[in-house]
Structure 1
Amino acid sequence: MIAAVVLTLYTVVAAIWLPRLMRAASWADRAPRLAIAMWQAASASVVGSAALATFVFAVPADFVGHGLAGLFEACAAMLTDGMGLTVAGAGALLVTGALAARLLSCGAVVLARTGMERRDHAALLSLLGRHDRDLDAVVLDYEERLAYCLPGRHAQTVITTGALHSLAPEQVAAVLAHERAHLRGRHHLVLTAAQTLAKAFPAVPIFEAGKVEIARLIELLADDVAARRHPRMQIAAALVGLATGQAPTFALGAGGETAFVRVRRMLHPACPLKRLERLTGVLSVGLLLSGPAAVALVPGLSSFLAHHCHSFLAF
């Protein structure tokens, strides 16, 4: 029971407090990949602790004391005959099932909606766009300055004639490298997961903040990948040229409202994280992922040791 209370309290506190703490972290922009992993781990930690709290509440720790086979046998009896299952435990399991169903259904809705929008847009590009072999991108006759990628089964990088006319060739190459970084990194899947959590559990601070921050950090990460082969000055100039463009919501675009902030970051890069700082971040990710499971295992492990130690001494 104590473990269930601890996990429940952690779920509530982490859902509210973790986004405030992580948004205040000054190192995130210096290591966007690690920061994305931190947001994902924090979100998974909240979901996992909520699910484990109901499991620990529904399944008595004594069941674990008889070993893994005994636990499975007891759980099967609870589900089939209701043996050992209290009304409160049944309610806890129902809550867990409802949360899982909500998460899966919202994930299916997000995937279906974005998949349909991307297929429709791909069909439109096949009619209105033309593939440029030199650029290895689809060129769209459109006055607005845009560069974006369309992820999915038939991934494409798209740039408009407005962008081509306003950007220098080096800037075009830099911004296309940014878009290809999105495609190679499968960043759309990371965004889909964040959007699913925010849709499934609206108004929960950790998921709302995670959706916004992950979208921002993904752009920083793509900038850093492009900067490995292209001068930061060219990336910054391209971002200025594309700042007013708005890519489709189901695509990933180089411009947008974060462009000017990213320009400053490209022109004045911060020092990368030191080895100790990066190690601390990695350990924090591991702690967020494993902490709830460790708390949930404590009562069962204690019961398991007590049972087997008693059996050993009796023998």
Structure 2
Amino acid sequence: MIDAAVLGLYATLAAVLLPRAVGRAQWVERAPRLGIVVWQAASFSVVVSAVLAVLALAVPADVVGHGLAGLFAACAALLSDGAGRPTTGTWAGLVVGGLLVARVAYTGGAVLLRARRERKRHAEALVLLGRHDGDLGALVVDYDERLAYCLPGRNGQTVITTGALRSLAPEQVAAVLAHERAHLRGRHHLVLAGAETLRRAFPRVPLFERARVEVARLVELEADDVAARRHPRIHIAAALVGLATGRVPSFALGAGGETALTRVRRMLNPEAPLSRRERLAGVFAVALMLAGPATVAAVPGVSVFLAHHCHSLFS
């Protein structure tokens, strides 16, 4: 009972307080990849804590501690009140836990399926409207608006418009295409799909709402940093300025957009990377959020298991 209360309290407080705590952290812009992992771990820990809290109420610790040998007998005893009738609380807990998991799975599938359909339709249109440029390694579309984006998927490709090619210098074009390829290699569309799944599955939860926004921003910073390993930051910044007003399809990832101007300042005034100690602190926080709920849920059952077997051993 105590473990269920602890898990439920953590899930509630984390869903409300973690967005403020992580959102105020300035270090995430210096290490966007680690920042993405922190937001993912925070969201995952809340969902897992909620599910485990419900299961902890439904499954008593003494049943968990029976051991594998008596697993089926324990389950049969758990689901009945001794007279063969299922206990209402147990079934209710299992049903609620199952519904939470099913909600996430269904929403995730819907998000991925919808994005796949939209990308497929767009790819079919690009076959008719675009031409592949071997020198650029990208699909060029005859369109006046300045756009550069990538279309994720099994056959992911980078796309740039003739408007962007006319307005950007060749070195800027190379830099922005490197940014788009970083999105494809990093499978950032799946990262965004995960954040979008939780936001839709559990609307109006502050953590999931904020995580979707922050993850979308951080994947752009991460792609900027990857591109900056091979191209001067000044070229990336200039390309971002040129593409700032472009509006890419919602199911694609583009170099421009609302965050472009703030990213320009970051490119021109880079901050020092995180120290080893700071990175270890971030990794420890991730490990704590991922392992903490499972540990809290497992402690009562493990305690009963050890108490039972130690007693049998020494008696």
TM-score range for the pair, normalised by the shorter chain length: over 0.9
Residues 226/312 of structure 1: CA separation in 2 closer, same or farther (3 Å cut): same
Give 2:93's aligned residue.
92
Per the TM alignment, residue 76 of structure 1 is displaced from its structure 2 partner at its CA by 5.5
1:77 is displaced (CA, Å) by 5.4
Alpha carbons 1:32, 1:220 under 8 Å: kept = yes
Question: What is the rounded CA distance, in whole Å, between the counterparts of 1:30 and 1:276 in structure 2?
Answer: 14
Deviations 1:152-176 (A, max 9, x none): 1221100000000000000000000
Matching residue of 1:12: 12
Of 133-142 and 91-100, more deviation after overlay is shown by 91-100
**Alignment map for 1:53-202 (pairs within 5 Å):** 53-71=53-71, 73-75=73-75, 78=78, 86-202=87-203
Q: Check the 8 A contact 1:64/1:70 in 2, yes or no.
A: no
Gaps of 5+ in 1: none
- What one-letter code is carried by the residue in structure 1 that aligns with 2:122? H
Determine the C-alpha separation between the residues in 2 that align with 1:241 and 1:254.
10
Task: Report if the CA contact (8 A) 1:78-1:84 is conserved.
Answer: no
Q: 1:77 to 1:157 in 2, by over 3 A?
A: farther
Deviation at 1:301, TM superposition (A): 1.1
Distance 1:213 1:250 in 2: 17
Q: Which residue of 1 aligns with 2:302?
A: 301
- Name which of structure 1's ranges 90-99 and 39-48 shifts more when overlaid on structure 2: 90-99
Larger displacement relative to structure 2 (131-140 or 49-58): 49-58
Q: Which amino acid aligns with 1:208?
A: E
* Correspondence for 1:23: 23
In the TM superposition, residue 72 of structure 1 has moved relative to its aligned partner by 5.1
CA contact (8 A) 2:63 2:78 kept: no
Alpha-carbon distance in structure 2 between the residues aligned to 1:77 and 1:268: 65
Letter in 2 for 1:147: A
SS at match of 1:27: helix
Residues 84 and 225 (structure 1), Cα distance of their counterparts in 2 relative to 1, 3 Å cut: farther
Distance 1:165 1:81, change over 3 A: farther
Q: C-alpha separation between the residues in 1 aligned to 2:14 and 2:117?
A: 35
CA contact (8 A) 2:66 2:74 kept: no
Return the alpha-carbon distance in structure 1 between the equivalents of residues 85 and 15 of structure 2: 32
Alignment TM-score, normalising by the size of structure 2: 0.97
Mapping for residues 186-265 of structure 1, pairs under 5 Å: 186-265=187-266
What is the distance in 2 between the residues matched to 1:6 and 1:241?
Answer: 51
Report the secondary structure of 1:292's partner residue.
helix
Q: Structure 1: how far apart are the matches of 2:175 and 2:76?
A: 58
Distance in 1 separating the partners of 2:107 and 2:151:
22
Report how far residue 89 of structure 1 moved: 2.1
- Deviations for 1:18-69, whole angstroms, at most 9, x for unmatched residues? 1110000010000000000000000110010011111111111111322233
Give the TM-score, by structure 1 length.
0.97
Match of 1:267 in 2: 268
Stretch of structure 1 that moved more, 244-253 or 58-67: 58-67
Aligned length: 314
Distance in 2 (alpha carbons) for counterparts of 1:101 and 1:72: 24
Q: Is the 8 A contact 1:58 1:85 kept in 2?
A: no
Aligned to 1:159, the other structure's residue is in SS state strand
Look up the equivalent residue of 2:40 and give its one-letter code.
Q
Q: Do the aligned partners of residues 85 and 264 (structure 1) sit closer, same or farther apart at CA in structure 2, a change above 3 Å counting?
A: farther
Q: Contact between 2:80 and 2:87, CA under 8 Å: does it hold in 1?
A: no
Cα distance in structure 2, aligned partners of 1:210 and 1:68:
39
Letter in 2 for 1:70: G
Stretch moving more, 242-251 or 90-99: 90-99
Task: Give the distance between the partners of 1:141 and 1:260, measured in 2 at CA.
Answer: 26
Q: Which amino acid aligns with 2:276?
A: R
What CA distance in whole angstroms lies between the structure 1 residues aligned with 2:310 and 2:201? 44
Shift of 1:111: 1.1
Instruction: Give the 5 Å matches for 1:275-314.
Output: 275-314=276-315
Query: How large is the Cα RMSD of the aligned pairs?
Result: 1.5
Structure 2 runs not aligned, ≥5 long: none
Partner residue in 1 for 2:33: 33
In structure 1, distance between residues paired with 2:204 and 2:92: 24
Instruction: State whether residues 80 and 86 of structure 2, in contact with CA within 8 Å, keep that contact through their aligned partners in structure 1.
Output: no
* C-alpha distance 84-49 of structure 1, shift in aligned 2 (>3 A): farther
CA offset at residue 197 of structure 1?
0.7
